[in-house]
């Protein structure tokens, strides 16, 4: 396993991976799917390019022995905290510990840049995912916000809210 920062050349492969893990029929093979909650794509080339180009952000990727990207996590410095999003593992590889390894790599990255806490949002109805994060030391902050996504990234099938989670490192 090799976890390293992504580059712009990774964008097409990452877009395919992220969309396959969150939306559409392929995502239903894994347990992190949002397909029952949101229609449409999760990310596009332009948005992912902008995220990778942001000097305050990094996307860490896992690459297998064949050079294929099998997982990633988005990290963005926000003041004295690090926002974690888009933790993605190929649906075919979920439940094998790769998500946990990416999360640990994110925490090491935060510590290396002297960040004392990681924050994230999780859809409130995703109890299995919230429980997964809580087992790894993340806690609800008490703040709940509505999920609002641009039309290019899908249509919510019902009103959704998100919990803010935080872990002090």
| 136: CATH | 3.40.630.30
Domain count, the chain: 1
Residue owning tokens 């003041």: 79
Average pLDDT score over residue span 108-137: 97
**Angstrom distance (rounded) from CA 147 to CA 93:** 27
**Domain around 16:** 2-168
Is the pLDDT at 115 greater than 90? The verdict is: yes
SS3 category, 161: strand
Percent with pLDDT over 90 in the chain = 82
Angstrom distances, CA of residue 88 to CA of 43, 45, 91, 157, 159: 12, 16, 9, 22, 23
In this predicted structure, what is the pLDDT of residue 107?
98
Question: Of the candidates 47, 4, 31, which has an alpha carbon nearest to the alpha carbon of residue 149?
Answer: 47
In this predicted structure, what is the pLDDT of residue 1?
66
**Angstrom distance (rounded) from CA 57 to CA 50:** 10
CB count, 10 Å around CB of 96? Answer: 12
Q: Chain-wide mean pLDDT for the chain? A: 94
In this predicted structure, what is the pLDDT of residue 30?
82
DSSP state of 117: E
Q: Which two tokens stand for residue 109?
A: 């990255």
Backbone angles phi, psi at 105, to 5 degrees: -65, -35
């Amino acid at each position: 396993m090799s976890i390293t920062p992504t580059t712009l050349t990774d964008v097409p492969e990452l877009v395919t991976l992220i969309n396959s893990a969150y939306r559409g029929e392929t995502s239903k093979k894994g347990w992190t799917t949002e397909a029952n909650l949101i229609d449409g794509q999760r990310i596009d080339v332009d948005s992912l390019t902008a995220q990778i180009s942001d000097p305050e952000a990094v996307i860490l990727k896992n690459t297998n022995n064949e050079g294929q990207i099998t997982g990633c996590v988005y990290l963005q410095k926000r003041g004295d905290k690090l926002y974690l999003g888009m933790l993605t593992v190929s649906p075919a590889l979920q439940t094998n510990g790769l998500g946990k390894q990416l999360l640990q790599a994110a925490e090491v990255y935060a510590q290396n840049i002297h960040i004392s806490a990681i924050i994230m949002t999780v859809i409130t109805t995703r109890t299995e995912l919230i429980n997964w994060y809580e087992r790894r030391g993340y806690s609800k902050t008490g703040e709940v916000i509505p999920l609002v996504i641009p039309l290019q990234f899908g249509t919510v099938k019902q009103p959704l809210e998100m919990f803010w989670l935080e872990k002090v490192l």
